[in-house]
Structure 1
């Protein structure tokens, strides 16, 4: 492998390996074919917990989550009870939000995201809690000051009500920095055989139209800790490059793309451009040379020796529920990353029982 690529990867892959436990509460109104209340739980971005108002049952999404009942036989019953209780509160909250925003009807979505990150090398822990309404931040907990940040005027009333309730904020801090990590470690142990696996992706060059950017698309990889970028003559390309977020596939694997504007690249220079995909824990990256013969388009047939494009992996998850949940989860993770910002099992979902909007 090119020594320049090795050096570039060494300079890029210096971030710590983090494990995470996240929960999302998604409450909606007037969204066709979508439950009014959904709870999604993820370990290292792999969904392992689900509840919705249609089934009214907390259920495992991974086979290894069945191990949790060995420690607590009533785990799923208790989680169902908490989710039913939360459903009532969140339905009330979204109605309050509509009043605050002077809305009488239409489609609206309220979101809450909370959880923790744990670095298993350094032991560093980070907790987070934020809520949003119709795609905008609504309320964020500052764990340093134990106060609530109100990004919009409609949330100020909630901030003024919650700030004096220090016991409530302390409970959140204890959960986010201690109990959450306790459960994260348990779940990581339950699913270690699956969560510790390594799967390399299939990589494709895709283009929607002759004038569209070229997308280097990797799908089917695991874990989600990966780097992907374009280089030219061993140097990373920044101009005309648009990286995408790592997103989950319906089968538990992940996908990522990085676009390159090829409109100004001369034909004789194409071979100097390479798409590099590096999966954490794998020594050798996957390098794809920019070659017009490998590009799959909407207006031309792919070369038969390119293999079959895995449409099932990408399209199999196209159900309204999955698409909306995935988009909300990905969006709020992006917002959190870019704006910096023991107990019975029932308690790790129970800290939001007090309060409301």
Structure 2
């Protein structure tokens, strides 16, 4: 058989003796003479194998009464970046009875005997250099040409089906939810899927995965799942990135819709006689229930064999569900080809699987009914925040950089302004804040901060006396106020507003925006709560500020900051390879992405285009840069000879397509030879696409 990216494309056997296409596009694109010539070639190879398996059996003195197996695998691999195609490796290898026998060394153009019995074949084949030259030429040139041609055909055939089948499913299991994300119909094979909480990818060992599997039509699918507490469903999303996507697909599980659907999940195994209920299986208790007296003997007999009841329960909860999902996938494929993209499909559907058999006059039915909610493709939801933080000390301390009163504004955790009790001036901390906000904004801001400084000085003293605290110790009063929004496309929605006070590092008083009243976290806060709640207009002002005025300022600052940061801060992705300090035979691969904005980003280190589990890699987490952008760095230790198998995948909302950088083995080989080089010498690959001209020794 022929395999293109692990998809079977043709087949031949000794009975039919005909090379036949296994993909529609192969049948359509390859002319009849291709199949005729291919059939003759396979027949010739069949005869060759029949002769040589007999030779090997005699050479190894194996009996003809047993079955022995001779195998051959030949082919090539390429790497494609943009329009550039580069030969990667070629393989021609033989095996006998499941063991390696003989393989071709493409660099040396000679055969390698892996067992002593292969030495005669090696000597014979190596004595005809022109045959070895042909083998090398086939692997490096002819095989690559066929591979490129087949890839071109399959790309045209499959590219229109790429993400119409991306969907999400959520299943209820007792007190928890099982969230499942299924992406299907993508091509080529490489894909990144992560289930995220608060836009942070969950560790791979915390999720279940099917791995990437082929579909019947040459495309691929992958499914991942995780169990969570039901109340947390809104915190999760599924992130899918693929080379054919203009931007990643991010879908959320919708809690309100799930609530309507989660109740309808059950397994049924029941018998009836003459149209009346006879006996049924209680899935929760794993025992049978007799509906009539005549069923009691059967119930007792079946309950006396616990393993059968366990099997029945397992079938209903596991096997039946697996078949249901498999059948649904096949049905979904047909439906979506007929009706188009997900948004044209019905939003809810009831799925049923009915398996029936007539046994001895009894009708046995196993029914599993499940409600499935198909979520439409959604735009990425961005979350943004604006907070102001105030800190007052009961007295000054003689420490550099520590002031009796400080205040600062934070936009998406990025400092935008600052004030302290020594300079007593509100100053901008971002260039765009200084350029965009007029002089009177800073003057009014300075007066406001001075007023708050006085208020804090009075109130920290009041609290000390109320709590009976000594004036000799330093006490701290803090206030944080601000708002958060969710942005989806051009739509901006208020998310939450916070106004809260703390004293000596403990929660003191907070504003309940829904009830428009204050909540005392400690008894000492009750007098303040009663006083402030007795002036309703002040609480209305607080609520109005959080929901309206704060949001307006947040949107304005975001508009100014976005233009500056998006224009001036292209993301750089660097990959470094250094010798491991702990293991001399290993390399430490590091990937650094810096200069991205907004904050949310996905970075994974991959082997053979499959993301490594998070607990295998070290990560700094997302950190702020001095200019308001962000950075993240991940690393992993590997065996030196495996460096070419790894790459770094980075996806961000501002990218047209993900950045994929590789660590280049040949370049590293030149680097590693320099034994006198300092230990921090590294290879750096930088840019939105991997470019050898950008590799440099630093």
- Per-residue CA distance 1:266-289 (angstroms, 9 max, x = gap): 888888776544322214434567
**Are positions 1:144 and 2:514 aligned together?**
yes
Contact 1:30 1:108 in 2 (8 A): no
Deviates more, 1:178-187 or 1:11-20: 11-20
- Per-residue CA distance 1:229-264 (angstroms, 9 max, x = gap): 55666256244667655332223322335687x7xx
**Are positions 1:169 and 2:539 aligned together?**
yes
What pairs with 1:273-284 in structure 2 (closer than 5 Å)?
Answer: 276-284=649-657
Match in the other structure for 2:446: 80
**Are positions 1:302 and 2:676 aligned together?**
no
Distance 2:630 2:486 in 1: 21
Match in the other structure for 1:247: 623
- Per-residue CA distance 1:99-143 (angstroms, 9 max, x = gap): 538465556544322222333433211222233345443333221
Match of 1:58 among 426, 435, 440: 426
SS in structure 1 opposite 2:480? strand
Structure 1 55/305 Cα, relative in aligned 2: closer, same or farther at 3 Å?
Answer: same
Distance 1:5 1:178 in 2: 41
Shift of 1:155: 3.8
What pairs with 1:209-220 in structure 2 (closer than 5 Å)?
Answer: 210=582, 218-220=593-595
Match in the other structure for 1:316: none
- Per-residue CA distance 1:150-209 (angstroms, 9 max, x = gap): 444554443344344332221111011111122223333444530433521455679998
Distance 1:169 1:20 in 2: 21
Contact 1:31 1:107 in 2 (8 A): no
Contact 1:13 1:227 in 2 (8 A): no
Two-structure CA RMSD over aligned residues (Å): 4.3
Match of 1:188 among 537, 558, 562: 558
Which ranges of structure 2 fall in alignment gaps of 5 or more residues? 1-80, 82-187, 195-238, 242-247, 251-379, 672-677, 686-698
Distance 2:577 2:519 in 1: 42
SS in structure 2 opposite 1:17? strand
Distance 1:107 1:306 in 2: 50
Match of 2:570 among 178, 199, 203: 199
SS in structure 1 opposite 2:541? helix
Deviates more, 1:202-211 or 1:60-69: 202-211
Distance 2:474 2:644 in 1: 48
Distance 1:81 1:95 in 2: 22
- Using the size of structure 2 for normalisation, the TM-score is 0.36
Distance 1:129 1:91 in 2: 19
- Using the size of structure 1 for normalisation, the TM-score is 0.64
Match in the other structure for 2:87: none
Distance 2:531 2:454 in 1: 20
Distance 1:271 1:180 in 2: 51
Structure 1 216/189 Cα, relative in aligned 2: closer, same or farther at 3 Å?
Answer: closer
Deviates more, 1:201-210 or 1:110-119: 201-210
Structure 1 306/77 Cα, relative in aligned 2: closer, same or farther at 3 Å?
Answer: same
Structure 1 222/186 Cα, relative in aligned 2: closer, same or farther at 3 Å?
Answer: closer
What pairs with 1:1-357 in structure 2 (closer than 5 Å)?
Answer: 3-8=189-194, 9-10=239-240, 14=250, 16-28=381-393, 29-30=396-397, 32-34=399-401, 35-65=403-433, 66-69=435-438, 74-98=440-464, 100=467, 102=469, 104-105=471-472, 109-121=476-488, 122-126=491-495, 127-197=497-567, 198-203=569-574, 210=582, 218-229=593-604, 234-235=610-611, 237-239=613-615, 246-257=622-633, 276-287=649-660, 301-306=679-684
Shift of 1:49: 2.0
Contact 2:604 2:649 in 1 (8 A): yes
Structure 1 93/249 Cα, relative in aligned 2: closer, same or farther at 3 Å?
Answer: farther
Structure 1 55/101 Cα, relative in aligned 2: closer, same or farther at 3 Å?
Answer: same
Structure 1 109/137 Cα, relative in aligned 2: closer, same or farther at 3 Å?
Answer: same
Shift of 1:215: 7.9
Deviates more, 1:231-240 or 1:170-179: 231-240
Contact 2:570 2:596 in 1 (8 A): yes
Shift of 1:17: 1.3
Distance 1:137 1:217 in 2: 38
Distance 1:259 1:26 in 2: 38
Contact 2:576 2:684 in 1 (8 A): no
SS in structure 1 opposite 2:240? helix
Distance 1:270 1:137 in 2: 51
Structure 1 135/253 Cα, relative in aligned 2: closer, same or farther at 3 Å?
Answer: farther
How many matched pairs? 298
Structure 1 202/172 Cα, relative in aligned 2: closer, same or farther at 3 Å?
Answer: same
Distance 1:136 1:270 in 2: 50
Q: Which has the higher strand share?
A: 2
Contact 1:188 1:195 in 2 (8 A): no
Question: Which structure carries more relative contact order (alpha carbon 8 Å, separation 6+)?
Answer: 1
SS in structure 1 opposite 2:416? strand
